[in-house]
A and B are shown apart, each in its own frame.
Chain A
Amino acid sequence: MSSHDNHQSATTVAQKPDTKAIWVTFWILLGVTAVEFLIAFTTDSKPFRLVTFILLTFVKAYYIVGNFMHLRHEVKALIWSVVFPIAFIVWLVAALIYEGGSILGSH
């Protein structure tokens, strides 16, 4: 933090906004959403829609967490501390796909 402070006075005026990466991420997110809309309006195949929509959602999640939340540029320990616990959610999904039917018992 202290080294951060020392640089302030010298760089406050000189620095120009560097926003190219932000706008690239924005266009990617918008593009993926547009593709989702295209698929939603043009295709009827249920399994195809299910798989594509979920995959594209994770593509968007990657860009939001990686670029907007800056996780891609954090240290490895922090990245894994955040990403690894998602395994519990994957486990819950897998468990429910395997035997969720017996909970509500319709099928």
Chain B
Amino acid sequence: MELLTNNRRFGEWWIKADDGHESRPKVTVFKRKFFISGLFLTSSLRCFGKCFLFAPDFTVKILMASHSVSTSNVNLWGGGVEPMKASYGKLMMWFFLMSDTFTFSALLITYGLIRFSHPAYAGPMDHAVFSQEYWPLPDMVFNGIPFLHGVHLPLVFVGIMTFILIMSSVTMVLAVEAGHRMDRNDVQKWMLWTILGGIAFLSCQAWEWTHLIMGSETGQMVDGKIFHGANLVRNEYGPPAFADLFFFITGFHGTHVLSGVVLNIIIFYNTVIGVYDRTGHYEMVEKVGLYWHFVDLVWVFVFTFFYLI
């Protein structure tokens, strides 16, 4: 068994066994799992931070308790103090979204870095084949749409998904606008459309994932045998990092859409039972709206970097 120093493929050291068989070392798989658990840990910490975001009074009380300040006669966030003419909750939502921008940027930049460290496909465009040697053309991977099995339609399905998400962003901003007018019926109507849009998008993404995981009928030679579809260790479309990054980044975005849908449902419920009419303003719709638009914004970038380029 020897380490192949001259066969440093895809940034990984490969092992050559005594019988000449080359394989990916187990440590790489371990490294990947380690990375995944690290990401889950950091995101759960961030979710914990999010709880503070939605409970400003609680946060301030904790902060003041830790400095032994009496909370009875100090009312820091009771209203009226708006340094940037935006309420505490809205401001914190902006800064939370900024931190999310960094997370998604880091993921997409990693995608770019790993992609451009692999050789690009240089053959003919009309009948490109997959290989472990180069990064696949997105047109050739994401080319299916539901109910049309085996038809080559690049970009069409993802175009539909993009349209759904932009449309749900529009209905969200219409809900915010209705909130400014204190029009409960309109807020309800547009929130419901937004929730439907979010669910439709998630369903599309579930189909897209299934399509990629199941793979084509012909499959591809991977590690010495025919392999169909994709998982985190190997895939028929190209280097393992391709499927890893796809599942990671679209999965991370999909999780954001999912929590967005949950938040939207909560806001819809609150609207229906008249919470915001009693509070006197619909600012919560605005705050969740910011989050929802951000999810749309991230998709715009994912769409460009995964599907177009």
Chain A residues at the B interface, C-beta cutoff of 8 Å: 1-2, 4-5, 8, 11-12, 15, 17-19, 22-23, 25-26, 29-30, 33, 36-37, 40-41, 44, 49-50, 53-54, 56-57, 60-61, 64-65, 67-70, 74-75, 77-78, 81-82, 85-86, 88-89, 92-93, 96, 100-101, 103-107
Contact yes or no, B181 A15, CB < 8 A: yes
For chains A and B in complex, what number of residue pairs have CB atoms within 8 angstroms? 142
Q: By CB atoms of chain A within 10 A, which of B84, B118, B286 has the most?
A: B84
Task: Give every chain A residue within 8 A of B77 (Cβ-Cβ).
Answer: none
Contact yes or no, B169 A64, CB < 8 A: yes
Contact yes or no, A19 B177, CB < 8 A: yes
Q: How far is the CA of A28 from the CA of B125 in the complex (A)?
A: 31
8 new A-B contacts, CB < 8 A, other than A53-B308, A68-B170, A81-B84, are: A12-B181, A19-B174, A33-B162, A37-B159, A64-B297, A68-B289, A82-B98, A96-B109
Chain B residues at the A interface, C-beta cutoff of 8 Å: 8, 11, 79-80, 83-87, 91, 94-95, 98, 101-102, 105-106, 109, 112-114, 116-119, 125, 139, 155, 159, 162-163, 166-167, 169-170, 172-174, 177-178, 181-183, 186, 280-281, 286, 289-290, 293-294, 296-297, 300-301, 304, 308-309
Task: Give every chain A residue within 8 A of B166 (Cβ-Cβ).
Answer: 26, 29-30, 33
Interface SS of chain A: helix, strand, loop or mixed?
A: helix
Q: How far is the CA of A15 from the CA of B136 in the complex (A)?
A: 54
Q: Output the least CB separation between A105 and chain B (Å).
A: 7
Considering the complex, give the chain A residue whose CB is closest to the CB of B181: A15
Contact yes or no, B113 A1, CB < 8 A: no
Contact yes or no, A22 B177, CB < 8 A: yes
26 chain-A/chain-B pairs, Cβ below 8 angstroms: A1-B87, A1-B280, A17-B174, A17-B186, A22-B177, A25-B170, A26-B170, A30-B163, A36-B308, A37-B155, A40-B308, A41-B155, A56-B304, A61-B300, A64-B300, A67-B173, A68-B170, A78-B84, A78-B94, A81-B84, A88-B102, A89-B102, A92-B105, A96-B112, A100-B116, A106-B118
